[in-house]
A = this chain, B = another copy of it.
Amino acid sequence: MSLSLNQWTTRQWSLPEAVDGCVRHGLEAIGLWREKVAETGLARSVRLVRDAGLRVSSLCRGGFLTAGGLPGEEGRTAFAQALEENRRAIDEAAELSADCLVLVVGGLPGVRPGEALPAAGFTRDLAGARERVAEALAELAPYAGERGVKLALEPLHPIYCPDRAVISTLGQALDLSLPFPEEQVGVVVDTFHVWWDPRLFEDVARAGLRIASYQVCDYLHPLPEDVLLGRGMMGDGVIDFRPITAAVRAAGYTGDVEVEIFNADVWAADPDEVVATMKARYEQVVLA
């Protein structure tokens, strides 16, 4: 397993700066974000990572597929738009030769991240939202397959179930992936999201080669006010990484290990120091 920098960890850096940073620190892979790719331009981004000899361990992110659960025309339009947007993300992942396109599947239809519940225009139908994800996958998986892109379903910590992901466990992501060929749909194991799951080790083993991405960062305690930023540098929180890494390896995963940290202090720090710390902590607390 080789260390990869998810570029959101050094958010200050543009894509060219992040590519340079990876090379300077001897990393072989980078995880890209669509926003950053758009800023630099797709063609130039492709050239930069290729010229630097970097693997693209993932492209973040597609998803937000559940709005189709809204009633009537609104739902139909939202579903069509989500599919269209995801096809664009798949095309970009293909251009970048990304190992996978990460999908954050979306929350309850009509519930917006971080915003108060609307008086109308949202639904509490959790089971229905999960069915919308399965439907969207059936549309997108063949499209991805034709372009050599693997979709990677990311279960998010249950705290994000209302607004970001109705897929909350690795087992659930895995079950949703099984109807599709392994090279079309896989799952993400992100320690922050799944460390608490009593079925984690069983489901990592069951996932086997469906594991499309292994991402690490720590779970801080207590969480900050904005729970989206509760991700910490490995060793700064409560997660015991070694047994999880060992299980992912035993399942057959040989890909890159991406470090993706959303944290106000990490974002404010000097990116070169962040990468240096990340490398040291990876050796000290993540490797099994």
- Using CB atoms and an 8 Å cutoff, list the residues of chain A in contact with chain B: 108, 111, 114-117, 124-127, 130, 157-159, 161-163, 167-169, 171-172, 195-199, 219, 221-223, 225, 227, 237-240, 243
Q: Is the interface of A mostly helix, strand, loop or mixed?
A: loop
Rounded to whole Å, the gap between the CB of A113 and the closest CB of chain B is 8
A-B contacts, 11 listed (Cβ < 8 Å): A111-B221, A111-B238, A126-B195, A127-B243, A162-B219, A162-B221, A163-B222, A167-B198, A169-B197, A171-B199, A225-B225
A60 to B: closest C-beta gap in Å: 22
Bound complex: CA of A192 vs CA of B219, how far in Å? 21
Using CB atoms, name the residue of chain B closest to A175: B198
Q: In the assembled complex, which residues on chain B have CB atoms less than 8 Å from the CB atom of A158?
A: 157-159, 196-197
Q: Count identical subunits in the complex.
A: 2
- A179 CB, nearest partner CB in chain B, Å: 16
- For A163, A195, A221, which residue has the most chain B Cβ atoms within 10 angstroms? A221
User: Is B168 in contact with A239, judged by CB distance below 8 angstroms?
Assistant: no
Rounded to whole angstroms, the CA-CA distance of A238 and B238 in the bound complex is: 29
- Give the interface centre of A162, A219, A240 by most chain B CB atoms within 10 Å: A162
